[in-house]
Amino acid sequence: MRDIGHFIGGNTVPGTSGRSGEVYEPMTGEVRARVALASKADLRAAVENAKAAQPAWAATNPQRRARVLMKFLDLVHQEYDSLAELLAREHGKTIPDAKGDIQRGLEVVEFACGVPHLMKGEFTEGAGPGIDMYSIRQPLGVVAGITPFNFPAMIPLWKAGPAIACGNAFILKPSERDPSVPMRLAELFLEAGLPPGIFNVVNGDKEAVDAILDDPDIQAVGFVGSSAIAEYIYGRAAANGKRVQCFGGAKNHMIIMPDADMDQAVDALIGAGYGSAGERCMAVSVAVPVGQATADRLIEKLVPRVESLKIGPSTDPTADYGPLVTRAHLDKVKAYVDLGVEEGAKLLVDGRGFKLQGYENGFYLGGCLFDEVTPDMRIYKDEIFGPVLSVVRAKDYAEALRLPSENEYGNGVAIFTRDGDAARDFASKVEVGMIGINVPIPVPLAYYTFGGWKRSGFGDLNQHGPDSFRFYTKTKTVTSRWPSGVKEGAEFSIPTMR
């Protein structure tokens, strides 16, 4: 059986804790590897290597840092297929979906290659009598990212790309469920010319997380995961004086107006609700048809589509989605389906009994569809994170607008309509961070920023886009005056421009 250690100081090293976790192949249910779970000493070794390497990297000019990122992009593209297969085998998503996972991460690295421009400060000549003023952006030092299982390439690259481009050293604590791709990315960064110690991978569980949050030399922490853990990390890291950005759970709604193209809306719901087995923070988990007639038309078209979903192994190019990540998560999602039935929702399509011939031990769940779900039900309130779609019928537009706005999460929402006035009004008024208009998964492109509101996001700055460069740098403002412009005598009042 393969053993996975850590990547520290440019080398793959075994753990010192004596603890390990099992890494499964979800499509077969077999254990494929053991991953070391870091101790505080392991984390500290990564910090020491990062601290030693970071000053020289920060002193490297931005163009040269960008060239390393460009070389890294080239190397990843050369291994695109093998990385996607490795990702799919550990996560469970299909290979085409795994390629999308990698590509969306690379797009942020591509954006980060613009670091020579993105780190430019400001300059004002003659801000006062004989006074010039300018600002500069400087890296924070050693920073860390704690990333989830559902995007083992994309989210680590969302964190690492901008952080490294800015001149920081980066420590990644990926999910222990699928650590192989992050480890390979670390090797490719090194091969691209990144100095040893600038990108480190420390695998682990809560012990490693707490070590990151408490380490005095780590200046900033980024996290993506559940809201409860996001809140915990935000509070503990902030209490320790760190800069923090944490992104939590979601309950993404899709509003279907009476004038929507129903075939287009159903296609969108099928892909956004069931793709990657629903294990996406931007998955649509609530469909909100407006009006009884709209709801009836939606259900009529949706039921046969859910029933005909093709669930298969990750390596099947024709599969719509693959297995869930672990048996424990499969059992959790099934328990939510049980709960929905107990709560009185109407289960129109029941995927709990799904079995795949030849893969009976895999972590598979057929598509599940609930109708007549109400906002007081737990299956509406909680993030299920599986192939389960709930239909909540809204009597009118006002109720449809209110549902996502009053939900405790505020990650993403979509509206499907042909009415430009309705779409504009919705985008202006809905209390959610990312909006799609006839777009079911409104993940912004890399040069815009990604982030939700309410319990979907903790912290002032979002992921990727210009916000990422603000997060990973500190601003220094310089006011200068040279002797020829200096008046004689002391000045005791506060300087002004009058």
Structure tokens at 34: 């053991």
Structure tokens at 41: 């000493």
Q: Which residue has the tokens 């024709």?
A: 318
The one catalytic residue in 113, 166, 246, 281 is 281
Q: Which of 134, 131, 208, 198 is nearest to 170 (CA)?
A: 198
| Distances from the Cα of 488 to the Cα of 299, 372, 492, 497, angstroms | 82, 80, 13, 18
Q: Can you tell me the distance from the alpha carbon of 380 to that of 403, in angstroms, rounded to the nearest whole number?
A: 11
Q: Can you tell me the distance from the alpha carbon of 216 to that of 47, in angstroms, rounded to the nearest whole number?
A: 10
Q: Can you tell me the distance from the alpha carbon of 57 to that of 44, in angstroms, rounded to the nearest whole number?
A: 20
| Residue pair 472/159 in contact by the 8 Å Cβ criterion | no
Write the CB contacts of 393 (distance below 8 Å, at least 6 apart in sequence): 288, 289, 292, 295, 371, 372
Phi, psi of 194 (to 5 degrees): -70, 130
Classify residue 216 by its DSSP letter: T
Q: Can you tell me the distance from the alpha carbon of 60 to that of 64, in angstroms, rounded to the nearest whole number?
A: 7
- Strand partners for 223: 146, 246
Q: Can you tell me the distance from the alpha carbon of 458 to that of 223, in angstroms, rounded to the nearest whole number?
A: 10
* Segment holding 348, helix H or strand E: strand 346-349
Q: Is the dihedral of CA 363, 147, 384, 97 positive or negative?
A: negative
> 447 burial class (0-12, 13-18, 19+ CB within 10 angstroms)?
middle
Q: Can you tell me the distance from the alpha carbon of 365 to that of 166, in angstroms, rounded to the nearest whole number?
A: 42
Phi, psi of 263 (to 5 degrees): -65, -40
Q: Can you tell me the distance from the alpha carbon of 138 to that of 290, in angstroms, rounded to the nearest whole number?
A: 50
Write the CB contacts of 44 (distance below 8 Å, at least 6 apart in sequence): 211, 215
Q: Which of 333, 266, 341 is nearest to 297 (CA)?
A: 266
* Segment holding 36, helix H or strand E: strand 30-36
Classify residue 321 by its DSSP letter: B
Residue 281 designated active-site: yes
Q: Residues for the chain: how many in total?
A: 498
Residues with catalytic function: 281
